[in-house]
Amino acid sequence: MAEGEEEVNYASVVFKTGYNPPPAAKRGEETVYGEVKVQSETKNEDSAGHRRFQHLACCLGILCVILLGGIIGLCVYIANLTRDNKNLEDQLGNLTQVYTVSESNVKNLSAGVKELETQKNNLTQQIQNLTTNCNELNISRAQWSIDSYCLGNTDKKCEACQKGWKLTAPSCCQYNYPASSGWKTWEEAQKDCSGNNSYLAVADDSEEKEAINVKSIGYNGYWIGLRVVNKKWEWVDGSNLTDSSLIDPPADGHCAVFKKDKDTWSSVSCNLKRQWICQKKALSV
């Protein structure tokens, strides 16, 4: 083909009978309907996706809430466990302290028991020693009694009273009548009698009262074993005076003085000094 010549293409067109192309308005409607349909389908798809996203988000939110609740519950549970554990530790510490104190007390008690057992053994030994000494003393006293009451008598008979004592049946009395410089208070006189295994004379019996009067010497007066105790006249043996007419009403700090040939006794201060009468049981012969 020469330059400048254009190529010409030819096409064959065949027209078929019965084919009626849609008018332009109808095609326009179809186009619009197609676009609306496509847009509607697109919106439905978007709405469905949005709803799925919302559902997913809601589920995730619920899971987060559940998880958060679980975490909070776990934290509270752990806190409670920690507090309980702390309480248990404190209780264990207290129990340990109590156990330590109790153990110490048990040791102290054991030591105390051992000490008491030792003291018991010592006391038992002391009692045995005292019993032995008492028996030996009784034997010695018995021998002394025999010597005092029996030996040295010209008739070789035992007497009811020791030498220097006078029988005022059923007792023996010793009348102590030194010079006034040797007189004693009631307490001093009682102490002197105790040193001779005797006591100040008790004359609550009328017969013994008369016997003491008959055997007495001088008229200066003798202490007897009667004094005021708790506002009552009481003998040294603990008995009360039976005949209150024998002496004035009791006065605190007063003791009784016996005077020869007097039917009554004098109530004077126990701190005054007088002669005194000691008394003991007579020996049965």
pLDDT band at 60 (very low <50, low <70, confident <90, very high): confident
How many angstroms separate the CA atoms of 6 and 8, rounded? 6
The percentage of residues in the chain with a pLDDT greater than 70, rounded to a whole number, is 74
How many angstroms separate the CA atoms of 45 and 79, rounded? 50
- The pLDDT score that the predictor gives to residue 23 is 56
How many angstroms separate the CA atoms of 235 and 242, rounded? 10
Q: What is the pLDDT of residues 168-217, one digit of tens each?
A: 878 889 999 899 899 999 999 999 999 888 999 998 888 888 888 888 88
Average pLDDT, the chain: 79
- The pLDDT score that the predictor gives to residue 218 is 76
Q: What is the pLDDT of residues 273-283, one digit of tens each?
A: 999 999 998 87
The DSSP string of 92-121 is HHHHHHHHHHHHHHHHHHHHHHHHHHHHHH
Contact 148, 250 (CB under 8 A): no
Q: Work out the angle at residue 69's Cα, subtended by the Cα atoms of residues 64 and 74, and round it to the nearest 5 degrees.
A: 125
Domains of the chain: 166-281 (3.10.100.10)
How many angstroms separate the CA atoms of 255 and 267, rounded? 6
CA separation, residue 201 to residues 107, 160, 227 (Å): 58, 17, 12
As a whole number, mean pLDDT of residues 10-21 equals 49
All residues at 6 or more sequence positions from 160 whose CB lies less than 8 Å from its CB, including other chains: 149, 167, 169, 172, 282, 283, 284, 285
Q: What is the pLDDT of residues 244-282, one digit of tens each?
A: 888 999 999 999 999 888 888 999 999 999 999 999 988
Contact 267, 256 (CB under 8 A): yes
As a whole number, mean pLDDT of residues 210-225 equals 86
- Reading phi first (left if > 0) and then psi (alpha if -120 to 50, else beta), residue 230 is in left
- The pLDDT score that the predictor gives to residue 240 is 92
All residues at 6 or more sequence positions from 227 whose CB lies less than 8 Å from its CB, including other chains: 186, 233, 234, 236, 254, 255, 256, 270
Sign of CA dihedral 158, 163, 167, 172: negative
Most confident of 8-12, 64-68, 202-206: 64-68
All residues at 6 or more sequence positions from 217 whose CB lies less than 8 Å from its CB, including other chains: 175, 177, 260
pLDDT band at 8 (very low <50, low <70, confident <90, very high): very low
pTM above 0.75, yes or no: no
Q: What is the pLDDT of residues 99-154, one digit of tens each?
A: 888 888 888 888 888 888 888 888 888 887 787 766 655 544 544 555 566 655 55
- The pLDDT score that the predictor gives to residue 229 is 94
- The pLDDT score that the predictor gives to residue 11 is 47
